[in-house]
Amino acid sequence: MSGSNGSNGAKKPSSEFVQYHFRHAIGGFFEFPTANARKILPPHLHPVEPHHGQSVLSVMAFDFHKSMVGEYGELILSVLVMPRVAPGEPLPRSAFYPFLLGTTTKDSRDHAIERWHLPHFMENIDLSFDAKDDGIRIAAAHGGKPIIDMNITPYSWEKVSHRYQSFMHDADGSYMSTIIMESGFSENEEERGDITIHPHAFTKDIDRDNVNTTPFRELWMRDGLQTFHPLDTLASAAV
């Protein structure tokens, strides 16, 4: 069955930190129309606009080699949104609303839906990483049909620990988790990368003709650790 399903019944959020080790995590930030972003976002979240009328489509791919659900690949489509700023809480580097994830294994998919209320494409996808010195290429496909091809280029490398916020929203409610990314990190705005978004059920919510196919920002993280903080249920969110 294809399609997204972020709900798995109301469950009490876990208080544990959950860690995922990855070989590569790569991302591209692409400008796309805010009208498209607003159709994707729940009403309580607002897109970040690098240019007026242009929001940010984030395409990320992870190559996990160690986690509580084993080894798997993950493709994430997100919209960058305004972070939550609250007294006593550290300010994040940025905030995301993941609106569709695809994974290479059922276990990882079931885990992310149950634990993090993340909406998923409900069949396994194929995800390949081809890393070279001058760039990394990912190819995502499903049933022999391409979903997304993306090339990302490196710049200088440094060790970082970055804080992000991820917002989730499903039939059970609205949530937020802090995510810490610790890894070798390279980021640039050299506009050397590119993306091809193919027509596919996975990409149906994206106005493909109006996505800038050159990322204005390219990110590449190597040999890192992703840590999810316990899920916060956002009391103010409409359900």
Partner 1 sequence: MATRISNTTPATPEEETDAAGANGGIADFDYSNFYYSSSDDIFAIFDPYNEWWYGHARDNGYYLFSQPMSTPPGPRIDLEEQLGHERLKLLNLASYNYLGLSYHPEVIDAAKKALDHYGLGAAGSPILSGTMEIHVQLEKALAKFKKKDAVMVFPTGYSTNVGLIAALMRPGDWVIMDQNVHASIVDGAILSKANVRFFRHNRPDDLEKKLRGTTGKRLVIVEGVYSMDGDEARLPEIVEVAKRHGARIMIDEAHSTFLYGANGRGVAEKYGLEEDIDIHVGTFSKALGGMGGFVAGSQALYNYLMGFARSRVFSCALSPAVSAGVLQALRIAEREPQLRDTLWSNVAYMRGLLAEAGIDVGESTSQIIPIMIRNDRKIFGVAQALQKAGLYLQPIIYPAVAKHRSRFRISISATHTTQQLDEAATILADVMTAEGLR
What residue ranges bind partner 1 (CB under 8 A)? 17, 19, 31, 45-46, 48, 51-54, 81-93, 155, 160-163, 178, 180, 182, 187-190, 212, 214, 216-217, 225, 227, 236
> Are 219 and 185 spatial neighbours (Cβ–Cβ below 8 Å)?
yes
> In this structure, what DSSP letter does residue 175 have?
E
Torsion, Cα of 166, 6, 194, 32 (10° steps)? -80
**d(C-alpha 99, C-alpha 165), whole Å:** 14
Smallest distance, partner 1 to C-beta of residue 33, A: 9
Cβ closer to partner 1: 178 or 203? Answer: 178
Cβ closer to partner 1: 1 or 15? Answer: 15
Nearest-Å Rg of the Cα atoms of the chain is: 17
Cβ closer to partner 1: 170 or 187? Answer: 187
Q: Which amino acid is at 25?
A: A
Cβ closer to partner 1: 101 or 176? Answer: 176
Smallest distance, partner 1 to C-beta of residue 212, A: 8
**d(C-alpha 148, C-alpha 141), whole Å:** 7
**d(C-alpha 118, C-alpha 170), whole Å:** 8
Beta strand 173-188 pairing with 232-233 = antiparallel
Cβ closer to partner 1: 2 or 210? Answer: 210
Residue 75, both tokens: 């493709």
**d(C-alpha 129, C-alpha 152), whole Å:** 11
158's CB contacts (< 8 A; 6+ apart) are 184, 185, 186
Smallest distance, partner 1 to C-beta of residue 191, A: 8
Smallest distance, partner 1 to C-beta of residue 218, A: 10
Element (H, E) at 199: none
Cβ closer to partner 1: 31 or 74? Answer: 31
Smallest distance, partner 1 to C-beta of residue 98, A: 17
Smallest distance, partner 1 to C-beta of residue 155, A: 6
